[in-house]
Amino acid sequence: MVGIVLVSHHAKLAEGIRDLAEQMVYGQVPIAVAGGIDDPENPFGTDAMKIYAAIESVYSPDGVVVLMDLGSAVLSAELALDLLEDSVRDRVVLCPAPLVEGLVVAAVAAATGAGREEVASEAAAALAGKQSHFGPPPAAGAEPAGGTGARQSATFAVVNMHGLHARPAARLVAQVRAFDAQVEIRNRSTGSPWVPASSLSRVATLGALRGHEVELRASGAQAREALDHVVALAARAFDETTAGGPPIGAMVAPRTARSAGAGAPGTSGRVASTDDGPAAPPEPAATPLPVAGQPASPGIGIGPAWYAGTVPLEIPDVPSQGPAAEWRRIREALAAVRRDVRRIRARTARDAGDTDAAIFDAHLLLLDDVDLLGDVRSRIGSNVPAPQAWSAATSRIAGEFDALADPYLQARAADVRAVGDQVMRALLGVSGTALRGSGVLIAADLFLAEAAELDPAQVTGVLLASGSPMSHGAILARTRGIPAIVGLGPAVLQIPDGTPIALDGGTGEVAVAPSDPVLASFRERAAEQARRRQRAASRASAPAVTLDGVPIAVGANVGSLADARAAAESGADLAGLVRTEFLFLGRDAAPDVDEQEAVYREIADALGGRRIALRTLDVGGDKPLGYLPAAEEENPFLGVRGVRHSLAHPALFADQLLAMVRVAHDVPVSLMFPMVSTVDEVVRARKMLDDAIKLAGAGEPAGLRVGIMVEVPAAALKAAALARHVDFFSIGTNDLTQYALAAERGSAALAPLADGMDPGVLRLIDAVCRGAGSQVPVSVCGELAADEAAAALLTGLGVRELSVAPRMVPAVKEAVRATGLHRAALTAAEALDVADAAAVRALLAAG
């Protein structure tokens, strides 16, 4: 009997259609589904390996008919066929039938004993019944009924710090590919031409920067749905958690050069050549190279220089074997590279977390890029051999990135070249770079896949002639803890193999063949950093107690189950902030009470019964829910968000409160309402919480505490009035800072102004602590809490809990242990009256 495989971007959709067909034939026909991809963050897509396994599971000598939904499903199915043995492949038919009608008809035909060609033919004609009833479809260009036109449009403003770079562009393309629609996109702000939104290479070359207006137009059965989902995705910054953060270059403060007498180890940001001669002073002057480097990954690296052995690529000058044979070579190479990238991605997710592993998603999308593959196939169709066609197509796209003005988007050319190099090597059967040396790696550039293969135990540092701190290779070096400096220029490639090197990836300092004093200064710096890390890690699980014996809780900010596990491993005393939005965003319907309860319990279990602070849903104009339409707002940061949004949608709010109360009966829970401005909001929210407690039964949970996020200056100034209605305050310094200083926290131009150390912000924190009195504890869960220098400042103002990113917990605990509260209180009081944030930092540095 003929087997059937159903390929869809959505696993549940495919399973539902299969269930329908199986009911029609009473389960007599073997039907397998290959739906979605194995990515919990974005499960929509198709996987050639899944299709391959599905075909094998239903294969018999009678053959297999494969039905596909749209777009990349066809490409993935073709790739799956290439993986099959010739004898199997010849018995598999790819059928362009509609999914629902096609599968039902195919299943019935197969059940009656029809052969694979007849099954495919019957499936392809499955729409005949509908067409005869409704008549032929309108001619191309005709207006549909109602005269509104088939094409729909929408616009959105780019809010991501680096514009539509690889990650947000990849999310957009993946979203578009999930719908039965033809979507095009253009940068209205620059007047760019329209390009297909299903092509990552074309979307990323639009040069869409932060603040640019982007226009979409779509046609097809799901045009409106596709546009709505993309607009909603754009409004929440394409789920990029660092969308509002500072640019990478601003994350590392340059080291202030000291005088030679003070032991300055060379010139900051340049390659320094030092002399070992006997007449050399204790700190010899540096001989800098012409090009300054850029710090890309902090830390001290010391070791001999080594170069990766790269097998050169030589494209053979041989004629085409014909379009069919050459296209098969391309598909086989793509399948091999896709498997390799997924392997590296999985290992990176295991070692560094899924956020860092997500940088490989853009590479995977490039392997399926319709513009790139269309170009390659066109060239092959003109009898160009596969290697030459691939080289020309990838060079064209990389050149388009090179031509862009924005340096972050220019850096994406390296990703295209990296993918191009991997596929070319697979085409030619040539191995890649041998990254098996030890010491300081020197290279012209570092591809993402190469960076993922670096062993931190062997590679003590990286020096690159080109590249930027924003390249994905640099990002991955940071996640792997390997010090790196980039953009040093071609002179760095002239350093002889084996030359001793010392570098500081946090300042950009490099010493080539350093003298003993210079090397000693680097080693002491490295030793001090290692001692601090080791000391912090060894005591990470111990309480953080000030010099005068006052315990300060140090918790972790959590936005997923993986974060909760990382928090437990880092020694967090509690989850000081659980951002529950991750349960609600990026889906078609809100999670029900049972699903929410299950996830909150998983987070609590991961933390071993420690207290968890569950923040109720913080969405609204800046983070809209696609399934809960809201009116457009001029300024969503000042709109219906946080507790305002929850009170405006009581059914959604009631479900979340009920789930939290259920968990609180078994686990210590702090429940907090975000974006509070008035006492009335707290009273109304607590009334709904009381209703949830009654509905859950068993009375009020013993370990339940109720508090609010203080993010609005008015709330900070009304802390005494609010304190009568809460058990605790949690200050969100990110929002509090932007509202107090009228400086949008995602603006690169305003980054120096939007500083939580500003005395005006500190006065608001002081007002909260004074208004709270001795009965209502105050915590800080914004970025300021993770600043080690701020530990004394915040505790001196009266804060008794700090909540930070999981990896920062050990270091912040150490900062607390070095703090004496009496001295901290005097310093904090003085900080309230200085001129600006720089003066506050200078005050803290002076001790």
Check residue 272 and give its pLDDT.
Answer: 42
Check residue 155 and give its pLDDT.
Answer: 92
359/203: higher pLDDT: 203
Check residue 310 and give its pLDDT.
Answer: 56
What is the arithmetic mean of pLDDT over 336-359?
Answer: 65
Check residue 160 and give its pLDDT.
Answer: 81
Let me know if domain 269-311+434-535 sits in CATH 3.50.30.10: yes
Give the C-alpha separation, 308 to 443, whole Å.
7
What fold does the segment set 323-430 form as a domain? Enzyme I; Chain A, domain 2 (1.10.274)
Q: Report, at the CATH architecture level, how domain 539-845 is classified.
A: Alpha-Beta Barrel (3.20)
Q: What is the 3-state secondary structure (H, E, C) of 382-429?
A: CCCCHHHHHHHHHHHHHHHHHCCCCHHHHCHHHHHHHHHHHHHHHHHC
Check residue 586 and give its pLDDT.
Answer: 65
For residue 4, give the H/E element and its range: strand 3-8
Give the C-alpha separation, 815 to 547, whole Å.
11
pLDDT higher than 60, residue 131: no
Angle between helices 386-402 and 370-381 (to 10 degrees): 140
What is the arithmetic mean of pLDDT over 760-766?
Answer: 97
Alpha helices, H only, 441-515? 448-453, 472-479
Alpha helices, H only, 445-546? 448-453, 472-479, 516-538
Check residue 42 and give its pLDDT.
Answer: 61
Q: Which one of the listed residues 162, 212, 472, 645 is annotated catalytic?
A: 472
Most confident of 127-131, 372-376, 503-507, 655-659: 655-659
Q: Are 747 and 767 in contact (CB under 8 A)?
A: no
Check residue 284 and give its pLDDT.
Answer: 35
Check residue 246 and give its pLDDT.
Answer: 31
| pLDDT above 70 coverage of the chain, percent | 80
Radius of gyration of the chain (CA): 30
* 8-17, 360-369, 457-466: segment of lowest average pLDDT: 360-369
| Annotated domain spans of the chain | 3-128, 158-247, 269-311+434-535, 323-430, 539-845
What is the arithmetic mean of pLDDT over 251-259?
Answer: 29
- 147: confidence class by pLDDT, cuts 50, 70, 90: very low
Establish whether domains 323-430 and 539-845 are of one fold. Answer: no
Q: At CA 819, angle to CA 816 and CA 820, rounded to 5? A: 140
Check residue 613 and give its pLDDT.
Answer: 97
- 37: confidence class by pLDDT, cuts 50, 70, 90: confident
Check residue 268 and give its pLDDT.
Answer: 36
What is the arithmetic mean of pLDDT over 46-73?
Answer: 86
Check residue 140 and give its pLDDT.
Answer: 37
Check residue 39 and give its pLDDT.
Answer: 64
- 150: confidence class by pLDDT, cuts 50, 70, 90: low
pTM to 2 decimals? 0.51
- For the segment 433-481, what is each residue's pLDDT rounded down to a tens digit? 556 678 999 887 776 667 767 788 889 999 988 776 656 667 677 767 7
Check residue 237 and give its pLDDT.
Answer: 82
What is the arithmetic mean of pLDDT over 240-259?
Answer: 34
- 23: confidence class by pLDDT, cuts 50, 70, 90: confident
CA dihedral 285, 289, 291, 293 (to 10 degrees): -60
Q: What tokens does 467 get?
A: 């590249």
Angle between helices 790-797 and 837-845 (to 10 degrees): 100
What is the arithmetic mean of pLDDT over 642-669?
Answer: 95
Give the C-alpha separation, 139 to 133, whole Å.
17
Q: What is the mean pLDDT of the chain?
A: 81
Q: E-assigned strands of 139-188? A: 152-157, 182-187
pLDDT higher than 90, residue 79: no
Q: How far is CA 371 from CA 144, 205, 238, 341, 374, in A?
A: 29, 12, 22, 20, 5
pLDDT higher than 90, residue 296: no
Dihedral pair phi/psi, residue 216, rounded to 5°: -120, 150
CB-based contacts of 343, cutoff 8 Å, min separation 6: none
pLDDT higher than 60, residue 105: yes
What fold does the segment set 3-128 form as a domain? Rossmann fold (3.40.50)
Most confident of 392-401, 534-543, 619-628: 534-543
478/146: higher pLDDT: 478
How distant is the alpha carbon of residue 231 from its chain centre?
18
What is the arithmetic mean of pLDDT over 213-218?
Answer: 92
- 386: confidence class by pLDDT, cuts 50, 70, 90: very high
pLDDT higher than 50, residue 260: no
Our answer to whether residue 472 is catalytic in this structure is yes
Our answer to whether residue 363 is catalytic in this structure is no
295/38: higher pLDDT: 295
Terminal Cα distance for the chain, rounded: 82
Dihedral pair phi/psi, residue 96, rounded to 5°: -85, 30
Give the C-alpha separation, 692 to 700, whole Å.
10
Q: E-assigned strands of 46-149? A: 64-68, 92-95
CATH of domain 158-247: 3.30.1340.10
- Within 10 angstroms of residue 388's Cβ, the number of other Cβ atoms is 17
What is the arithmetic mean of pLDDT over 790-817?
Answer: 92
pLDDT higher than 60, residue 587: yes
Check residue 812 and give its pLDDT.
Answer: 93
What is the arithmetic mean of pLDDT over 517-522?
Answer: 92
Check residue 553 and give its pLDDT.
Answer: 97
3 state DSSP class of 11: helix
20/344: higher pLDDT: 20
- What pairing do the DSSP bridges indicate for beta strands 92-95 and 778-780? unpaired
* 350-359, 572-581, 601-610: segment of lowest average pLDDT: 350-359
Q: What tokens does 664 get?
A: 């609180």
